[in-house]
């Protein structure tokens, strides 16, 4: 004897991929925001002094923080003035996440004389360290985008004023 089954009952359920999604509107043209992301000089005006951008697939995108810590990642791909995709390093306090990395996709959309910058960070795995890294980066990446905004409102960051007399302490 056969019974009719609900066709959705045994269908595989897909769980949406965990993603950290942040967005900010920067009061600057897309070409200027793109340059701030994709050149060493540009990145150094808002992220860290001495930032390094080797703008090519496989190139580095690295921030140098006080105390010798680094952040950033490796450039996976880009579409000029539209998208920059990085294999992103988590902070040193999350060694597994730092080694295995996530994917950070920055999308740049012109809106009049401003630019909407949207970050979608994916590749999150399960586990306590991954959860802690996610929570840390929700705040950290929001600060990153806020600093980008501040750079275009107030001009390049004065690192001596921001971090003290020697920015590489």
**Token pair of 161, please?**
């004023």
- pLDDT for the residue numbered 155: 96
Does any domain span residue 12?
A: no
When the pLDDT of each residue in the chain is averaged and rounded to a whole number, the result is: 90
Q: Over the stretch 104-161, which tens digit does the pLDDT of each residue have?
A: 999 999 999 999 999 999 999 999 999 999 999 999 999 999 999 999 999 999 998 9
- Quote the domain boundaries for residue 144: 20-154
Mean of pLDDT values over 31-50 = 96
Give the residue, 32 or 69, on which the prediction is more confident: 32
Judged against a pLDDT cut of 60, whether residue 38 lies above it is answered with yes
pLDDT of 8 higher than 90: no
159: in domain: no
How many structural domains does the chain have? 1
What is the token pair recorded at 36?
């701030």
Residue ranges in 25-127 assigned as alpha helix (H): 30-38, 40-43, 95-100
Report yes or no on 69 lying in a domain.
Answer: yes
- Bridge partners for 75 per DSSP: 86
The C-alpha angle 151, 155, 160, rounded to 5 degrees, equals 85
Residue 88 sits in a domain whose CATH number is 3.30.530.20
Residue 160 domain-assigned?
A: no
Can you give the pLDDT at residue 166?
52
């Amino acid at each position: 004897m056969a019974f009719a089954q609900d066709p959705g009952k045994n269908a595989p359920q897909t769980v949406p991929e965990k993603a950290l999604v942040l967005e900010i509107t920067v009061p600057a043209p897309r070409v200027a925001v793109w340059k701030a992301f994709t050149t060493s000089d540009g990145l150094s005006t808002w992220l860290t002094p001495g930032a390094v951008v080797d703008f090519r697939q496989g190139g580095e995108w690295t921030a140098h923080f006080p105390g010798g810590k680094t952040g950033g990642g490796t450039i996976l791909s880009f579409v000029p003035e539209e998208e920059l995709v990085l294999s992103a390093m988590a902070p040193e306090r999350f060694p597994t996440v730092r080694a295995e990395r996530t994917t950070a996709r920055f999308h740049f959309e012109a809106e009049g004389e401003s630019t909407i910058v949207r970050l979608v960070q994916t590749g999150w795995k399960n586990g306590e360290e991954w959860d802690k890294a996610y929570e840390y980066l929700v705040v950290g990446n929001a600060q990153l985008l806020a600093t980008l905004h501040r750079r275009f409102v107030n001009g390049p960051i004065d690192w001596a004023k921001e971090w003290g007399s020697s920015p590489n302490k």
